Structure 1
Amino acid sequence: MIPISDNIRCWNKPIINNWLIGINIAVFLWEIQLELSDTLGYFVNSWGVIPAQISRAITNAFFFNNSAAWIIVIWRVFSLVFGIFLHGSFSQILGNLLFLWVFGKTVENILGHRRYLEFYLAAGILTGVVQILIEPSLTVPLIGGNGAIAAILGAYIMKFPKAKIDTILPLIIVYIPIELPAFLYIFWWFVQQLFYGIGSLNIPPIGVNQSGVVFWGQIVGLFSGAAFIRLKR
């Protein structure tokens, strides 16, 4: 299922949503350049969310009064934001940006530009924090805006449960346009995560995104987005 658009009329231009899409594309093109120069692994391991490094730095800073550890803590806290804009494969960024394009513009319309940006970043950071708490010893970098996109989907479904989504069903070489209820995309969002390994970038030494940790982070993102929009009513 490929979502194309919804039937919710937006009165304001999705300025922030368009900028987010543009930034994600620009960063991914940068990643491709780094891969060609064999420096992508170092970059992602430096700026992705690595729970083990963050947990160790926090322990050293708070419990052992290690002043140098505070620099690492600050650096790694920033990675919670920057990591939202990194992606590990072509399928991951295409899937995320497609959902951002269809559902994000409507959520921005109801939240307003500034609050929508805060919502997007906060959801991505919250997802990262949850992933660290779930597996604090994990040494695999966690990257991608999956948690933020899940929060947008959760907010959208909570606000517009009966919305209709214009969808294309690709059947081999035949593309059939249909209209589906929005709530079906909660299920489809998690199904498509299984295909995010397609077109993976070469990120040594151990790749990115351990599936179990990423899954639970997205669950938190989905429910946090729904809870936020519910409280806003």
Structure 2
Amino acid sequence: MVPLQDRNPTTRTAYVTYALVIVNILVFLYQLTLSPQELAAFFREWAVVPIELTASFRGELTSSSRPEWITLFTSQFLHGGFLHIGGNMLFLWVFGNNVEDRLGHLRYLIFYLACGALAALTQWFFDMGSPIPSLGASGAIAGVLGAYILRFPRAEILTLVPLGIFITTLYVPAWVFLGFWFIQQAFYGIASLQTPTNIGMQGGGIAYWAHAGGFVFGAILGPLMGLFSGKSPYDRQMTWQQRDRDLF
């Protein structure tokens, strides 16, 4: 999964994207040092626990001494396993740099954290009484994808395609690749309304509503924060001959 776009030296270095990847990895490495009991307590303290967040919104006491709303942001840097963080960081690395280039470093950071918080609230809305911690950068990254599909709909994504026992590659437009991803997340969210779906301590799963919500809010917030201001060096559409020239 690689977006094929012009290599242009005038683009900004994606400092925020790289920093987010590093911080997520460092937090995950810290998680690996914790015992199962310590990790459970760590998730309880810093991940979004819907029932606790609901209680705090009602003005009721919670089990934590810190404001519960903080977990809308801290939960974005927690992950439930190697596949969880690996997939998230891959998508962030591939798609985040172009969105950061359009928004600028500070606005991109605000955009990323806001999408993550709003995605967590979307998941909370559909399961307010759940005691299962919800965590991960997936919602924030879904916001990045929502902005990306608007700004670079024709960017070509090099995608692995299984054909029986063989695997080949195919260039797919971003709007097809990410549009299918969004529809899949929304469908899974609807299908899992009656089942625990958050990645957490009690069996795990995927917070599909957070993914779908993050994607929608990213598509809304991106343009409001300047996603379309100025012309991007990635706007020029490459012909097959130009692509072959750049690759070889």
Q: Match of 2:241?
A: none
Q: Is the 8 A contact 1:6 1:165 kept in 2?
A: yes
Asked if the contact 1:23/1:85 (under 8 Å) is kept, the reply is: yes
Higher helix share: 1
| 2:100 corresponding residue in structure 1 | 108
Match of 2:4 in 1: 6
> What does residue 76 of structure 2 align with?
84
User: How many pairs does the alignment contain?
Assistant: 212
Task: Determine the structure 1 residue equivalent to 2:50.
Answer: 51
Partners of 1:6 and 1:73 lie apart in 2 by 48
8 Å CA contact retained: 1:162, 1:181: yes
Distance (Å, rounded) in 1 between the aligned partners of 2:164 and 2:84: 21
Cα 1:174–1:47 change in 2 (3 A) is: same
TM-score by length of 2: 0.75
Instruction: Tell me the distance in 2 between the aligned counterparts of 1:43 and 1:119.
Output: 26
Mean Cα displacement is larger for which, 185-194 or 174-183?
185-194
SS at match of 2:52: helix
Work out the CA distance in 2 between the residues paired with 1:159 and 1:73. 42
Counterpart for residue 28 of structure 1 = 28
- Secondary structure at the counterpart of residue 39 of structure 1: helix
Report the AA paired with residue 221 of structure 1: G
Deviation at 1:91, TM superposition (A): 1.4
- Does the aligned pair in 2 maintain the 1:153–1:222 contact within 8 Å? yes
Aligned twin of 2:121: 129
Counterparts of 1:1-233 in structure 2, within 5 Å, are 3-9=1-7, 11-35=11-35, 38-61=37-60, 69=61, 72=64, 74-169=66-161, 176-186=168-178, 187-188=180-181, 204=201, 206-208=202-204, 211=206, 214-231=207-224, 232=226, 233=228
Identical positions, percent: 35
| SS of corresponding position for 2:33 | helix
Aligned residues of 1:47 and 1:83 also touching (Cα < 8 A): yes
Q: Give the whole-Å Cα distance in 2 for the aligned partners of 1:159 and 1:39.
A: 42
State how far apart, in whole Å, the 1-side matches of 2:78 and 2:145 are. 20
Distance 2:95 2:31 in 1: 26
Give the AA of the match of 2:52.
Q
5+ residue gaps, structure 1: 62-68, 195-201
Task: Report the residue type matching 1:7 in the other structure.
Answer: Q
Instruction: Specify the code of the residue in structure 2 equivalent to 1:26.
Output: L
SS of residue matched to 1:183: helix
Cα shift at 1:33:
1.4
State the alpha-carbon separation in 2 of the partners of residues 34 and 190 from structure 1: 36
Could you tell me whether the CA contact under 8 Å between 1:80 and 1:125 is conserved in 2? yes
Aligned to 2:244: none
Which amino acid in the other structure matches residue 4 of structure 2?
D
How large is the Cα RMSD of the aligned pairs? 2.7
* Structure 2: runs of 5 or more not aligned: 189-198, 229-248
TM-score, structure 1 normalization: 0.79
- Report the alpha carbon displacement of residue 191 of structure 1 after superposing the two structures with TM: 5.4
* Residues 203 and 137 of structure 1: CA distance in aligned 2, closer, same or farther (over 3 Å): closer
